[in-house]
């Protein structure tokens, strides 16, 4: 049977729990999900018909604060996947030490098959179903695959209609004109870039490093653009339809700017004739480069291709891109993995800044947002590195990040005790 993402996340947890010597009671608490919400709801189609859709919202652990996590619109959404992503969010918020617990949500739908009107209907109805469990003090959704700032604006408006007043703190990732934070759009990619700069600080920095980026959406296009600005050579970029290569560097900044006008990566290649060549999609992660950045979907690095990876460093942009088997192979081969719960935490970190701004009715400048992001994520990186080094090379960065995340959640859970 193939390993599901929940299998991976749970086995990563148990591996860290074994290393920490966590008690059975703590293991039971840490693997329990506080709320598992499942809904089936109708959505009116433009032609007057309707279809039933299925959605989930899961809160994992909320000992450290309100549940926080994205909402995904994708055909492969499943309850197991949502649970896995919610658990990752708990550890991620704890790793960067922001006062949130973990949540995730999703609707089984390919948003590309819906008109704008149908997408709004679906979002408003799903939000209405979720009204009892979301809120600025309880659960704060954000964008993920297939959702964006417009979807967040609809969620905010629908929730506000139910309450009778505007509640900007109920979601993050809103449009800036509705109280979204400056810098939120680029935050995950920017966080990845900061973490990589810090990791390579003593080995020449990112300047001249050859980097392959898989996925050219919100995360991949931004990290590619920002690393190019720092002097890296983005030798491969790819989305689900095309992979492009230039040993002297693909102009990722130009590609990102073209996509921002509503075009796709294949269209950029067709229309703009950039200096690069199409290569097979599966060549990107096994390319001869210094760093690979999986920034598309989960489980793209598995036992099948982990042995073929040539890069000495994996920077996890996506959530859960590496299976447990691939992780073991990387450890054996001395390939360093900067784990998702640290590397891509820039998104939730700036979401936290947006939530703080919404609750205080203040606006931070983009400079302040980026500066605070660099401070928090760099400090998290240094704490994790120090912890890894104290294990005398026995632990991976993922082990060390998991230990820190789990310990902080266990401590909060213990201090609060069991009610009543
Ligand atoms: P997105 O929908 O904006 O982009 C996804 C990209 O991946 C697209 O370019 C798509 O074509 C590409 N893709 C899909 N399948 C592929 C495949 N098999 N091979 C190559 N490319 C493929 O999504 P996103 O927001 O950029 O999220 C990407 C990943 O990062 C997800 O795992 C998400 O959970 C994670 N993540 C996102 C954020 C955020 O702030 N958006 C934060 C943390 C983690």
Q: Assign residue 210 the CATH number of its domain.
A: 3.40.50.720
Please report whether residue 379 resides in a domain: no
Same domain for 104 and 239: no
Protein residue closest via CA to atom 2 of ligand 1: 145
Please tell me the pTM assigned to this model. 0.96
Same domain for 318 and 198: yes
Ligand 1 center to 410 CA (angstroms): 30
User: Which residue, among 181, 79, 71, 84, has the nearest Cα to 122 in the 3D structure?
Assistant: 71
Same domain for 155 and 205: no
SS3 of residue 117 by DSSP: helix
Please report whether residue 6 resides in a domain: no
* Contact in structure between 143 and 217 (CB atoms under 8 Å): no
Q: Measure the CA–CA gap between 251 and 269, rounded to whole angstroms.
A: 11
Same domain for 213 and 121: no
Q: Measure the CA–CA gap between 261 and 263, rounded to whole angstroms.
A: 6
SS3 of residue 71 by DSSP: strand
Same domain for 159 and 198: no
Same domain for 205 and 328: yes
Please report whether residue 350 resides in a domain: no
Tens of pLDDT, residue by residue, the chain (420 residues): 678 999 999 999 999 999 999 999 999 999 999 999 999 999 999 999 999 999 999 999 999 999 999 999 999 999 999 999 999 999 999 999 999 999 999 999 999 999 999 999 999 999 999 999 999 999 999 999 999 999 999 999 999 999 999 999 999 999 999 999 999 999 999 999 999 999 999 999 999 999 999 999 999 999 999 999 999 999 999 999 999 999 999 999 999 999 999 999 999 999 999 999 999 999 999 999 999 999 999 999 999 999 999 999 999 999 999 999 999 999 999 999 999 999 999 999 999 999 999 999 999 999 999 999 999 999 999 999 999 999 887 899 999 999 999 999 999 999 999 999
- Ligand 1, residues 87, 144, 255: which to mutate, most atoms within 8 A of Cβ? 144
The residue with tokens 């609060």 is 416
Atom of ligand 1 nearest to the CA of 321: 32
Q: Which residues carry out catalysis?
A: 104
Q: So what's the pLDDT on residue 392?
A: 83
Q: So what's the pLDDT on residue 1?
A: 63
Please report whether residue 162 resides in a domain: yes
Same domain for 162 and 230: no
Protein residue closest via CA to atom 3 of ligand 1: 217
Q: Is the peptide bond before 420 cis (omega within 30 degrees of 0)?
A: yes
Ligand 1 center to 22 CA (angstroms): 33
Residues 6+ apart with CB under 8 A from 332: none
Answer with the one of 273, 305, 338 that is the final residue of a domain: 338
Sign, CA torsion 393/394/397/400: negative
Please report whether residue 370 resides in a domain: no
Q: So what's the pLDDT on residue 393?
A: 74
Ligand 1 binding pocket, CB closer than 6 Å: 143-146, 188, 214-220, 238-240, 281, 295-297, 317-319, 344, 347
Q: So what's the pLDDT on residue 2?
A: 78
Q: Which two tokens stand for residue 348?
A: 């939730």
Please report whether residue 255 resides in a domain: yes
Range of the domain at 132: 32-166+395-420
Answer with the one of 268, 303, 338 that is the final residue of a domain: 338
SS3 of residue 4 by DSSP: coil
Protein residue closest via CA to atom 29 of ligand 1: 318
Q: Measure the CA–CA gap between 239 and 235, rounded to whole angstroms.
A: 14
Q: Which two tokens stand for residue 139?
A: 């659960």
SS3 of residue 37 by DSSP: strand
| Buried b or exposed e, range 371-394, using 16+ CB within 10 angstroms | ebbbebbbebbebbbebbeeeeee
Same domain for 51 and 151: yes
Q: So what's the pLDDT on residue 117?
A: 98
Please report whether residue 353 resides in a domain: no
Same domain for 331 and 195: yes
For residue 64, the domain's CATH number is 3.40.50.10860
Ligand 1 center to 115 CA (angstroms): 21
Ligand 1 center to 146 CA (angstroms): 9
DSSP state of 203: G
Please report whether residue 352 resides in a domain: no
Same domain for 305 and 191: yes
Protein residue closest via CA to atom 42 of ligand 1: 347
Give the number of domains in the chain: 2
Q: Measure the CA–CA gap between 102 and 59, rounded to whole angstroms.
A: 6
Same domain for 229 and 135: no
Same domain for 228 and 310: yes
């Amino acid at each position: 049977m193939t390993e599901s993402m929940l299998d991976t996340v749970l086995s990563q947890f148990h591996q860290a729990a074994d290393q920490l010597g966590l008690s059975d009671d703590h293991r039971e608490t840490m693997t329990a999900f506080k709320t598992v919400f499942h809904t089936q709801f109708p959505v009116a189609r433009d032609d007057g018909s309707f279809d039933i859709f299925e959605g989930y919202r899961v809160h994992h652990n909320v000992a450290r604060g309100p549940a926080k996590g994205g909402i995904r619109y994708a055909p492969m959404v499943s309850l197991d996947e949502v649970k896995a992503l919610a658990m990752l969010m708990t550890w991620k918020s704890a790793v960067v030490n922001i006062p949130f617990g973990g949540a995730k949500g999703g609707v089984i739908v390919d948003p590309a098959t819906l008109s704008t009107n149908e997408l709004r209907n679906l979002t408003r109805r799903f939000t209405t179903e979720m009204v009892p469990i979301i809120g600025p003090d309880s659960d704060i959704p954000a964008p993920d695959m297939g959702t964006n700032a417009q979807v967040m604006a609809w969620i905010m408006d629908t929730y506000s209609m139910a309450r009778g007043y505007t509640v900007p703190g109920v979601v993050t990732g809103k449009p800036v004109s509705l109280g979204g934070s400056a810098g939120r759009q680029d935050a995950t990619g920017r966080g990845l870039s900061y973490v990589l700069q810090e990791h390579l600080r003593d080995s020449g920095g990112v300047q001249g490093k050859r980097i392959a980026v898989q996925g050219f959406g919100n995360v991949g296009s931004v990290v590619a653009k920002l690393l190019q600005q720092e002097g890296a050579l983005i030798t491969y970029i790819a989305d689900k339809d095309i992979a492009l290569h230039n040993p002297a560097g693909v102009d990722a900044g130009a590609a990102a700017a073209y996509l921002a006008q509503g075009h796709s990566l294949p269209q950029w290649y067709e229309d703009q004739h950039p200096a690069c060549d199409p290569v097979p999609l599966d060549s990107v992660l096994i390319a001869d480069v210094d760093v690979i950045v999986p920034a598309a979907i989960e489980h793209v690095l598995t036992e099948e291709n982990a042995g073929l990876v040539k890069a000495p460093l994996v920077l996890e942009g996506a959530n859960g891109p590496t299976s447990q088997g691939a992780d073991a192979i990387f450890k054996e081969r001395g390939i360093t993995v900067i784990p998702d719960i640290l590397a891509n935490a820039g998104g939730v970190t700036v979401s936290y800044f947006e939530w703080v701004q919404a609750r205080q009715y203040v606006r931070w400048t983009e400079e302040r947002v980026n500066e605070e992001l660099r401070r928090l994520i760099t400090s998290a990186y240094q704490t994790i590195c120090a912890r890894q080094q104290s294990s005398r090379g026995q632990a991976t960065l993922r082990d060390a990040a998991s230990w820190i995340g789990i310990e902080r959640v266990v401590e909060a859970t213990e201090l609060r005790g069991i009610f009543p």
